[in-house]
Amino acid sequence: MIQFEVEKFGEVSALLQRPENARQLLVLAHGAGAGMTHPFMESLTAELDSRGVATFRYQFPYMEKRRRIPDPPAVLTSTVRAAVLAASQVAPGLPLFAGGKSMGGRMTSQAAAERPLEGVRGLVFFGFPLHPPNRPGTARAKHLADVTVPMLFLQGTRDAFADLKLLRPICRKLSPQATLHVIQDADHSFHVPKRTGKTDSEVLRELVETVSSWAEEMQERRSSN
């Protein structure tokens, strides 16, 4: 377990998972209702590890203190920034990416929109929460135009937090900075019904293969520029 300081808010915990063949490091934030040790986060980091992607997953202060209500956005974005710095210090030399599950991804993008996250080459969103369920809207996407690095959106077709009829045009407008990868039949938790003949494990592999390939492409693009 790693501890790092969030200015004015104290220490929070993090976990570094680094395979021997690591080619990238993903700084990974949890969603609103579950911390860094949630089964999805555990499975995701294990699969990323198998693909040579190291992870630095961390707690937001409210989760560290076992509170249910998320911190104010300013606290969350400060935590994102502190996590990126801590990750770069514990695993120097690895190309940095950042993002997270649902709220964690959105807060990472908000931090990056306020000012660039030092050393971060791209953002990864596992289920970007564009709007609350049954309340479609695009206000949560306004800041994305201020993000200066490439973004990868991983979204399920049954995600109640992101109507694809709204998200697709947003990603097109943000192109070439934004890449949208759609997971057929997956919900916000990337669960798929049994009737599809696909398993959650297969979905997880698709997520990770997409992230790994995209990160490699971002590195190659950066090297050629």
Domain CATH code at residue 32: 3.40.50.1820
Q: What is the pLDDT of residues 197-215, one digit of tens each?
A: 899 999 999 999 999 999 9
- 219, 120 in Cβ contact below 8 A? no
Instruction: List strand residue ranges (DSSP E) for the chain, in order.
Output: 2-6, 10-17, 24-29, 53-58, 96-101, 120-126, 151-156, 178-183
Q: Residue 138: what pLDDT?
A: 97
pTM: predicted TM-score of the whole model, two decimal places: 0.96
3-class DSSP assignment, residue 157: coil
Q: pLDDT band at residue 97, thresholds of 50, 70 and 90?
A: very high
How many distinct structural domains can be found in the chain?
1
Its domain, for residue 99, covers: 2-224
